[in-house]
Structure 1
Amino acid sequence: MTRGVRGATTVLKNEENQIIMNTKDLIEEMVAKNNIQPSDISHVFISVTQDLNAGFPSKALREFSGWTYVPVMCMREIDVPGSLQACIRIMMVVNTNKDQQDMQHIYHNQATQLRPDLLSKRGE
């Protein structure tokens, strides 16, 4: 079975180092909380809001051991008026035996406002 694991974070500035570091921190927690191994990952989609263009957040994946062949694609998020800015969203598709409701989706920084319903269910 494949399942999607969602994650999102924000940065304070449109700077490559911040984009990569915040993405790396987010992925580390997504992987740890869901016990994901590189060989479990089918692919990863990463979107950024239009105000982020200083660097590719996908570079963060290449800093992890064993992730060389994990397919990843970056894209621009839909620019909806009033939506959260400076945001990086991740959809990681993994092979797992877990039920959908057992997947832990991770939100950092200002991105916690995107899915407060999921945060409250986890007691975070």
Structure 2
Amino acid sequence: MAVRAVRGATQLEEDSRDHMLERVAEMVTGVMEANGLVVDDFISAIFTATSDLVSEFPAYAARQLGFGEVPLICARELEIERSMPRVVRMMAHVETDLPRADITHVYLHGAAALRRDLTRTRDVPDA
């Protein structure tokens, strides 16, 4: 079994606690589903948020999904001029049999525009 890094990102419409938890949970479960992962496959995860998101820790959404024993940390994203607002990013380290080229990185909502060069992305329309 190999250790792989898998990325995810999502953009929020507004900075509210419920919206943060909903969008981050959607991103985390999307990464899990796209790569056939379960919580026990996760070694650790790093979440970053842009400075305009202050309503909740993104990692709390993962905790609510059962990541209680997985080391998680949150950090502030760099403030770069013209960067996309209201974005949460995740980089998780996982154990998987997937080859590196088969890892699916999940970019949702407006964040789908961030890394089209990296791998497959998907834009989820707002409900």
The answer to whether TM tops 0.5 is yes
Deviation, 1:68, is 1.6
The percent of aligned pairs where both chains have the same amino acid is: 27
Runs of 4+ residues over 6 Å off in structure 1: none
**Secondary structure of the corresponding residue to residue 51 of structure 2:** coil
Partner residue in 2 for 1:45:
46
- Output aligned runs, 1:1-124, within 5 Å: 1-65=2-66, 67-117=67-117, 118-119=119-120
Structure 1 residues not aligned, in runs of 5+:
none
Deviation, 1:37, is 1.6
User: Given the two structures, how large is their TM-score scaled by the length of structure 1?
Assistant: 0.91
Deviation, 1:116, is 1.5
Alignment coverage as a number of residue pairs: 121
1: CA distance, partners of 2:87 / 2:68:
25
Deviation, 1:119, is 2.9
Amino acid at match of 2:72: V
Structure 2 residues not aligned, in runs of 5+:
none
User: Given the two structures, how large is their TM-score scaled by the length of structure 2?
Assistant: 0.89
